[in-house]
Structure 1
Amino acid sequence: MSDQLILIHIYGLDKPKLTARLTSILAEYDVDILDMGQAVIHQNLSLGILIRIPPESESAPIIKELLFAAHDMDVNIKFSPVDQDAHEAWVKAEGKERHIVTLLGPKITSRQVAVMSKVLAENDLNIDVITRLTGRTSLDEGVLNRPACVEFSLRGTPRDTGAIHREFLNISAEMGVDIAMQADNAFRRNRRLVVFDMDSTLIQVEVVDELAKEAGVGDQVSAITASAMRGEIDFKESLRRRLNLLSGLDEAALDAVADRIPLTSGAERLIANLKRYGYKIAIISGGFTYFGRKLQDQLGIDYLYANELEIVDGVITGKVLGDIVDAERKAFLLKDIARREDISLQQVIAVGDGANDLPMLNLAGLGIAFHAKPKVKAGARQAISTLGLDSILYLIGMRDRDLVN
């Protein structure tokens, strides 16, 4: 006689001590547990246990006792024999690639999940585990509704990750949801450094545009900024043009602008939780150090790199001191910080919104285009457009219960 493999499926209302009672019965017969998994949704339990019964034992008395215990606890139980060859094929499939897909937005609908899962199926990816990361959703309109986030653990080798990314962007634009797909590996679970762009990422405005309003040249500077963000003109050239228009502006305008700059939604919650778990935080920005230093003091930023405005006799000259922090410089600085922290680039998260952020986004293990232009979303591996900065916490696998508000 050979071993008997049986898959036990228990389902019904969740009960205290249920697992303890069932496994105690299995223990009496010296049964091995080869696999087990459980999910509880709205107090309804689904528990699976794959067991191996040794040749010297009979399955009938084991099944009889389990049936009696299930009846006594008022749950349903089902037994399915498993072919050994099929089991071995399943074991060998364990070496397949694994990915994590994170679905997040103001709410999650069945249509979003249906369309997303269709894309996965068409690319030979099988969903193994589904986990909700956000807290429970209240139906009371008087209760502040939380965002919704569900994580899907996948097995398989995708046919074309670029095509999946494009399809996910289309779904996101059409359905108001964000979808991120990452390789599920040790690096994904051990990110150590988060690098942020500043303007329109950590803060809600482009500082140079705000300074331009003070100088009375807002429309001219905004047009140049928008063109640079779309990648239509070189960042260094765009910065020189904008600063030239600010030449002669009184230094006091810096304070006036600093006093009205709003942080991006979720920024404080994100950074507080990252620092709680030991992450290092950096700003690498094409903006200005004057404003970066204020954020550094306010949020506890570890590294700051931005452009230093030249100020002579209390007046902005329209020039910067030292090297301009452009796309190439951002990428260099990201690598330099990672080297100094003695971590792999795969352990770095980079977040930005502009075309000049793309090189650093694509260097990092997790690069996120945040509320970015279509060209930037298409060029980055991940994008968030529906929620605040703190939604990044879900992309690194944190749950609401892990977080402080």
Structure 2
Amino acid sequence: MNDETTLSVTVTGRDRPGISARLLSTLSVFPVTIVDLEQVVLAGRLVLGAVLEVDERVAPGVSRHRVFEEVRNALDKTAIDLDMEADYASGDAHNRVNESSSAARLHVTVLADPLRPGALGAITSCVARAGANIDRIERLSSYPVTSVEMEISGAAGDPARLAQLRAELAMEASTQGVDVAVQPSGLHRRAKHLIVMDVDSTLIQGEVIELLAAHAGCEEEVARVTEQAMRGELDFEESLRRRVALLKGLDAGAIAEVCEEIQLTPGARTLIRTLKRLGYECGIVSGGFTQITDVLVERLGLDYSAANTLEIVDGKLTGGLVGPVVDRKGKAVTLERFAREAGVPLEQTVAVGDGANDLDMLQTAGLGVAFNAKPVVRQQADTSVNVPYLDTIAFILGITREEIEAADLHAHAEPASIGHTSLG
């Protein structure tokens, strides 16, 4: 043990106030520095881990072995007083800590309802097969879904290993019926961000044009064209103009009625409120219509929006559109414009959508999230979410349920409710 350069300490026991302060106070009388520290509380049990190094600036020439032996004796006595257990490991752990800290890291987020041990075990096995190491696992939420985040090292710096990890996780996630997101670690996760969401079947439930078609008496025909477009079987602009043409002659007053009929996707208000409190810019871009998105902007406090505009003459829809169409390419261009206006690098943007029309936007963003999406979109997006709650996207961004609830409290709003989904 004479060649030990660091001492790793792990203390476990029942959690209660003042434990950490007492343990760290015990260490304060010794000439040691803390080179790594982590504390976790699980089911009322505290685990405090620290890696210590002798501070030779305070005690030059001192025997490391002697200092560490005195630290062990002192911590053993404190642990007994606190009815806890202390374990030790010596060696060159400091170098391993530094290597791990400097290496590129990844965050792997797993979401499911319910999250079963077997599914999580399969995901962690994928991490091991990719030659990566799990440094930390943290629960982010238990409602409306269970989500955990793993911080891993040893894969991000090697493109081949990272590609292997992503591919295996995607396959295993599909097999296990869970959602998995893989993202680089770093301070940028908490830097200024921009999130841009599709509207129809993402921010809101259903398709606005189908609601308008119901008022015009052509709902079934419009729905057929919509489904073809969302599957990528039709050019979006052509399909949109065909559907809008079917609305010719509809009284413009029907738009206001549709606004009252719209239902937000469960968790939409909660997601936007939370992200804005945490400093995000929030925008929407839609292949739908400004007559609807303008109302969403006002009622949800959004920062940016873009959509198509229905042409109205003498209080009637003409069956045409005003200006260029916001299509698949247009959504990506709009995301880039929003990012410039917000002063946010593209790598710090998040895009959320469900249809083929959203693919360019999802691939342009730093993180593209397929939300209850068509198969072609799930296959090409960075990650997918297949539960019906939009606020689960917050967990992918590393935001905990506690932070979401704090946003609700801060806004003096009703507690986040999955059932509270109306636009009005």
Alignment partner, residue 121 of structure 1: 128
Native 8 Å contact 2:130 2:164 kept in 1: no
Query: Partner of 1:116: helix, strand, or coil?
Result: helix
CA distance in 1, matches of 2:307, 2:246: 20
Q: Which amino acid aligns with 1:133?
A: L
Alignment partner, residue 150 of structure 1: 148
CA deviation digits over 1:126-145, x for unaligned, max 9?
110111112xx5xxxxxxx6
Query: Partner of 2:384: helix, strand, or coil?
Result: strand
User: How far is the alpha carbon of 1:236 from its aligned partner?
Assistant: 0.6
TM-score, normalised to structure 1, is: 0.90
User: How far is the alpha carbon of 1:300 from its aligned partner?
Assistant: 1.2
Native 8 Å contact 2:51 2:94 kept in 1: no
Alignment partner, residue 200 of structure 1: 201
CA deviation digits over 1:8-42, x for unaligned, max 9?
22122224433333333333232232222221111
CA deviation digits over 1:364-389, x for unaligned, max 9?
11211111101001111121111411
CA deviation digits over 1:50-89, x for unaligned, max 9?
223465242444322322222222111122221x3x6435
Question: Aligned ranges for residues 366-385 of structure 1 at < 5 Å?
Answer: 366-385=367-386
User: How far is the alpha carbon of 1:169 from its aligned partner?
Assistant: 4.1
Alignment partner, residue 235 of structure 2: 234
User: How far is the alpha carbon of 1:4 from its aligned partner?
Assistant: 4.5
CA distance in 2, matches of 1:253, 1:163: 52
Mean Cα displacement is larger for which, 238-247 or 17-26? Answer: 17-26
Query: Partner of 2:211: helix, strand, or coil?
Result: helix
Q: Which amino acid aligns with 2:274?
A: N
Alignment partner, residue 140 of structure 1: none
Native 8 Å contact 1:96 1:157 kept in 2: no
- Compared CA separation, residues 87 and 30, structure 1 to 2 (3 A): closer
Q: Which amino acid aligns with 1:394?
A: F
User: How far is the alpha carbon of 1:268 from its aligned partner?
Assistant: 0.9
Mean Cα displacement is larger for which, 247-256 or 228-237? Answer: 247-256
Alignment partner, residue 397 of structure 1: 398
User: How far is the alpha carbon of 1:166 from its aligned partner?
Assistant: 4.7
1:69 aligns with 2:67: no
CA deviation digits over 1:211-247, x for unaligned, max 9?
2222222222111111111111110111122122222
Q: Which amino acid aligns with 2:250?
A: L
Alignment partner, residue 271 of structure 1: 272
CA distance in 2, matches of 1:244, 1:165: 44
1:133 aligns with 2:134: no
Native 8 Å contact 1:166 1:378 kept in 2: no
Question: Aligned ranges for residues 297-376 of structure 1 at < 5 Å?
Answer: 297-376=298-377
Structure 1 unpaired stretches of 5+: 138-144
Q: Which amino acid aligns with 1:273?
A: T
Alignment partner, residue 141 of structure 1: none
- Compared CA separation, residues 256 and 235, structure 1 to 2 (3 A): same
Question: Aligned ranges for residues 86-101 of structure 1 at < 5 Å?
Answer: 87-101=94-108
CA distance in 1, matches of 2:173, 2:389: 15
1:56 aligns with 2:62: yes
CA distance in 1, matches of 2:169, 2:52: 39
CA distance in 2, matches of 1:285, 1:325: 7
Q: Which amino acid aligns with 1:77?
A: A
- Compared CA separation, residues 89 and 149, structure 1 to 2 (3 A): closer
Report the number of matched residues: 394
What percentage of aligned pairs have identical amino acids? 38
CA distance in 2, matches of 1:320, 1:337: 23
CA deviation digits over 1:160-200, x for unaligned, max 9?
55554454444444444221111113332224221111111
Query: Partner of 2:399: helix, strand, or coil?
Result: coil
User: How far is the alpha carbon of 1:3 from its aligned partner?
Assistant: 5.9
User: How far is the alpha carbon of 1:392 from its aligned partner?
Assistant: 1.6
